[in-house]
Amino acid sequence: MSSYNNNSVRLNAATKVAVFGGTHGNEMSGVTLVNLWMKNSNEIQRKGVETKPFITNPKAVEKCTRYVDTDLNRAFTAENLSAPGGESLPYEVWRAQEINNMFGPKGSPEAYDVIFDLHNTTSNMGCTLILESSKDHFNLQMMNYIKKALAPASCLVLLNEHPLLKYSTSRSVAKHPVGLEVGPQPQGVLRSNIFDSMRVIIKHALDFIELFNEDVEFPPCTVEVFRVLERVDYPRDANGNIIAMVHPNLQDCDWEPLNPGDPMFQTFDGKTIHYQGPGTVYPTFINEAAYYEKQQAFVTTKRETLVASAVKKS
């Protein structure tokens, strides 16, 4: 599961960096922070790199809704990015093409080096960094740096490399996409503590980039990650209606072990449904509001230790 490379990974300086907010228009920490930084970006500037704050889904932000036509954070597929139709396309598909032109093109040498995409969740996930590739040594080193800077406060890493469950995020146009997910926070609500946490994570992330650009070498390190295994839906009846809720023993227990036989759901008339998987898993995104329509009550993960190669500017 871990990759080890004796040689240091050499990369170009990270000079094109962006911070996205409002990819989901009702996730308020990101919307608020990016709006603040668009007025005054001093806080996010570092020597040698200009960080661009950007509201990705302004129509959704205006209506304080997750999306207008379709989820922007699922819209960056190759098919969508090359679809003809311009403004007659669903709003978020058209917007994805615009974002790809400004910050990509995805997969090309001109694409932005790093994009941070700010999200909130109704789940009790605390501070979470989302990684899309286990071989992105730059991101692994940055996440290691952030975790150490925040300690003893917790900041966990979720790795979504699953061939079927991985999705095409707004940040995926960059060479090094980083998702920030902080919860719990209701949609449409701004909580001070959650806002402050997200702000501090970005501060440390940009500090890392500045150090990297100043030729600091980050030695090999290990990073504990939670790798996405599968999506678990709510029990439903023949008509597709939800017939049970996340069990009180599982509610708010993101990242804690779920063992075979443990309570998982509670029907509306009080019966318990137990987890029947083959082994212990670590659930997360437990009871995220936006995932009811995506048939997801939670995702299961397994713990893994990745080894990051040394990383230095070339």
Partner 1 sequence: MPANVFLGACLPKLSRVAVCGGTHGNELSGVYLIKELMKRRREADDEEQPILVLSNPRAAQQCLRYIEVDLNRCFSHDALNAPLSDSAPYEVIRSREINAVLGPKGSADSVDFICDLHNTTANMGLCFISCSDSDWISLHIFKYLQLCIPDIPMRYLHFDLSHDEAYSLDSVGKHGFAMEVGPQPHGVVRSNVYTTMKTALELVLHWIRLFNCGTVFEGGPVDVFTLVKHVDYPRDCSTHDIVAAIHPLLQDKDFCLLNPGDPVFQTFSGETITYNGSESLYPFFINECAYYEKGIAFSLSRKSRVNVPSLRANRDQSR
Give the residue ranges of the annotated binding site for substrate: 73-74, 167-171
Question: Is 45 near partner 1 (CB under 8 A)?
Answer: no
Whether 181 is catalytic is yes
Question: Is 153 near partner 1 (CB under 8 A)?
Answer: no
Stretch that binds partner 1, among 49-57, 128-136, 138-146, 244-252 (CB under 8 A): 244-252
User: What CA–CA distances, in Å, run from 83 to 53, 59, 78, 86?
Assistant: 27, 21, 9, 8
- At what angle are helices 192-213 and 137-150 packed, to 10 degrees? 130
Which of 43, 181, 224, 256 is labelled catalytic? 181
The nearer residue to partner 1, 93 or 250, going by C-beta atoms, is 250
* Minimum CB distance to partner 1, residue 285 (Å): 12
Query: Under rule CB under 8 A, which residues in 61-100 are in contact with partner 1?
Result: 64
Q: How far is CA 260 from the centre of its chain?
A: 28
Neighbours of 238 (CB within 10 A): 5
Q: Where are the alpha helices (DSSP H) in 121-245?
A: 137-150, 192-213
Give dist(CA 86, CA 249) in Å, integer.
48
The nearer residue to partner 1, 248 or 261, going by C-beta atoms, is 248
Among 187, 197, 284, 309, binds partner 1 (CB under 8 A): 187
In eight-state DSSP terms, residue 246 is E
Among 57, 80, 100, 122, binds partner 1 (CB under 8 A): 122
The number of residues in the chain equals 314
The nearer residue to partner 1, 172 or 287, going by C-beta atoms, is 287
Query: Under rule CB under 8 A, which residues in 15-44 are in contact with partner 1?
Result: 32, 35-36
Give dist(CA 16, CA 110) in Å, integer.
9
Q: Where are the alpha helices (DSSP H) in 109-156?
A: 137-150
Residues 6 or more apart in contact with residue 177 via CB below 8 angstroms: 114, 115, 117, 132, 139, 169, 171
* Minimum CB distance to partner 1, residue 121 (Å): 10
Neighbour-count burial of 268, counting CB atoms closer than 10 A to its CB (0-12 exposed, 13-18 middle, 19+ buried): exposed
Query: Under rule CB under 8 A, which residues in 249-308 are in contact with partner 1?
Result: 251, 266, 268-270, 287, 289-290, 292-293
Question: Is 124 near partner 1 (CB under 8 A)?
Answer: no
Question: Is 186 near partner 1 (CB under 8 A)?
Answer: yes
* Minimum CB distance to partner 1, residue 292 (Å): 7
Active site residues: 181
Q: Which residue ranges make up the site for partner 1 (CB under 8 A)?
A: 32, 35-36, 64, 122, 184-193, 195, 241-242, 245-248, 251, 266, 268-270, 287, 289-290, 292-293
